[in-house]
Structure 1
């Protein structure tokens, strides 16, 4: 690897500027290529971020581009193809959520990166907030005692125009799901990360408002492996969208927080609520473009360090697949009307 890690962004859609901004602001990263089959989109993004070379597809990039790592910003159903191609060419991968949309896709992505000796990092920027980090630390230190409830409320709004803005949105083939797999996967990842593995789920999920194949509203009841219970609510039908909210309760205390900060921090030891945490962070509840790039910067920085130190990234492929496995179990329960048990390796 050269002194700076050379990044290519594959897919010049809504999320790509967050990757570009994080890369150009990092002293050890360089944006050296933009890839999109629509050349006008690639050129527009390149013009905004230093005018790196543009390419129409991965084949052109790998033949003529100078790149050490690939940011995968294409529709979810294409994550597998781009990741495997990059890995086989010896490029590290920084993949947008969700990792993949099927167990088979994720297996192949993880195996390709492992076999070819490259890192696979995934974007779950909600893990990087102070609220998430302090809550995780409190749980690990036993401040809440035995956990009894862990809930995630992921009530977003997306307009009909949003789903019509790209043919892949709201489809099983390329979106892999709806309110949970696209918008809610961040929150699903958080609550599973906090509470641990899920043993079983029972769920309802349907398109209640939008004319799409996948769900725009979902509810699930969870039983965690540690014996605790929980609820996940996910939607793109709540108008206006609400900030994501996480509620974690144990025998010795409760922590509740949202995108604008802590709502509750109470433990039997009387510890004061944390101060100086983030407030009013834009989280895209109504507009997917209204998302801070801070988390992407932190995770780009971590990938660079993971390569230098030859360690796993903070959110590896194996770790990232756990939220998708849970969502797939929720979908199976909604389809069958039955409780679905999860295995350690997935549904």
Structure 2
């Protein structure tokens, strides 16, 4: 497999297994190295595959010349170190969401990759949803007229046991936040991707139901740079968890969709029917559970990085694009802390 793009993975948790499975499915990708907290963790992750080199020292793994791309699958607040070290070793990077949990670290990551001429990509599977792709094209085509409102409802259930299952979950240092930064970041990214950049936010981000350091319930009001307004509701405190849903309103139409497809697709002076598709998430499955995302979502981003290495183009979601959702969430946290409207740079 000398012509394959070779990947290394740092981190051996649940999300790293999606990366590994996607790499193994790709005919032009090869998993050659894994780094865990201990060699035992790396061995367990490799499941007896003797072709994978095992490490408990990330710096040592980065010395492996054949690695083209590092998948950073560590806790969120450790992404920055993993990316910067990979960049200095001359490796391209595919980072799990969120890009990081502070603005300073995101800036350092992007600068390190740009200065070393390596590419930085980030995983946002919901950008593959057929409903989102149709909606974004409809917005670009002006079908809803002038956008006036864009809303996202990101209400999940996470049990006390979920937060107890990993020492980093629900902590400011390593999780960076709660319902917004961990679970809601996909929806925050999607709303901005469709509606455009946000000018300012005002937010409430309390902890109402879980014994954690960060928010389990949040409401953000948005002012987009276009002048449109919006709302984001995010939670891990509601039972049962609700379907992730987006509403986009204009002066000539409305589009509403969720994990199960379109709810509304209505334009002035038009009887155009809503697009219909069986695979509502775009991941090769009809499952709507955000906790059971199939490997296909990660396969897309592994394939993206294979093409990045081969062609030198930018990743589908590069560092500058990936940081937008985190910058918005950090502004929401500042607003909740200060009780003020916060403008985004």
Q: TM-score, normalised by structure 2?
A: 0.95
Measured in 2, the distance between the counterparts of 1:292 and 1:247 equals 25
Distance verdict in 2 for CA 1:283–1:75, change over 3 Å: farther
Measured in 2, the distance between the counterparts of 1:40 and 1:65 equals 24
**Aligned equivalent of 1:253:** 253
- Residue 140 in structure 1 maps to residue 140 in structure 2: yes
> How far has the Cα of 1:216 moved from its partner?
0.7
> How far has the Cα of 1:232 moved from its partner?
0.3
Q: What secondary structure sits across from 1:213 in the alignment?
A: coil
Q: What secondary structure sits across from 1:206 in the alignment?
A: coil
Could you tell me whether the CA contact under 8 Å between 1:32 and 1:65 is conserved in 2?
Answer: no
Could you tell me whether the CA contact under 8 Å between 2:153 and 2:246 is conserved in 1?
Answer: yes
Measured in 2, the distance between the counterparts of 1:50 and 1:297 equals 23
> How far has the Cα of 1:307 moved from its partner?
2.3
Matched ranges for 1:188-267 at <5 A: 188-267=188-267
Distance verdict in 2 for CA 1:219–1:311, change over 3 Å: same
Measured in 1, the distance between the counterparts of 2:322 and 2:191 equals 13
Deviation sequence 1:7-27 (CA, Å, 0-9, x none): 111111121111111111111
Matched ranges for 1:31-42 at <5 A: 31-42=31-42
> How far has the Cα of 1:38 moved from its partner?
3.1
**Aligned equivalent of 2:166:** 166
**Aligned equivalent of 1:69:** 69
> How far has the Cα of 1:43 moved from its partner?
1.6
Q: What secondary structure sits across from 1:170 in the alignment?
A: coil
**Aligned equivalent of 2:300:** 298
Distance verdict in 2 for CA 1:227–1:50, change over 3 Å: farther
> How far has the Cα of 1:60 moved from its partner?
2.2
- Residue 97 in structure 1 maps to residue 97 in structure 2: yes
- Residue 5 in structure 1 maps to residue 5 in structure 2: yes
Measured in 1, the distance between the counterparts of 2:60 and 2:194 equals 41
Q: What secondary structure sits across from 1:218 in the alignment?
A: strand
> How far has the Cα of 1:243 moved from its partner?
1.9
Q: What secondary structure sits across from 1:78 in the alignment?
A: helix
Correspondent of 1:335 among 331, 334, 337: 337
Q: TM-score, normalised by structure 1?
A: 0.94
Q: Extract unaligned runs of 5+ from structure 1.
A: none
- Residue 278 in structure 1 maps to residue 301 in structure 2: no
**Aligned equivalent of 1:317:** 319
Measured in 1, the distance between the counterparts of 2:286 and 2:84 equals 34
> How far has the Cα of 1:5 moved from its partner?
0.8
Q: What secondary structure sits across from 2:184 in the alignment?
A: helix
Could you tell me whether the CA contact under 8 Å between 1:24 and 1:49 is conserved in 2?
Answer: no
Measured in 2, the distance between the counterparts of 1:335 and 1:225 equals 23
Measured in 1, the distance between the counterparts of 2:306 and 2:66 equals 16
Measured in 1, the distance between the counterparts of 2:36 and 2:183 equals 23
> How far has the Cα of 1:67 moved from its partner?
1.2
**Aligned equivalent of 1:152:** 152
How many residues end up aligned between the 2 structures? 340
Q: What secondary structure sits across from 1:274 in the alignment?
A: coil
Measured in 2, the distance between the counterparts of 1:31 and 1:132 equals 31
Q: CA RMSD of the aligned region, Å?
A: 1.7
Measured in 2, the distance between the counterparts of 1:263 and 1:82 equals 41
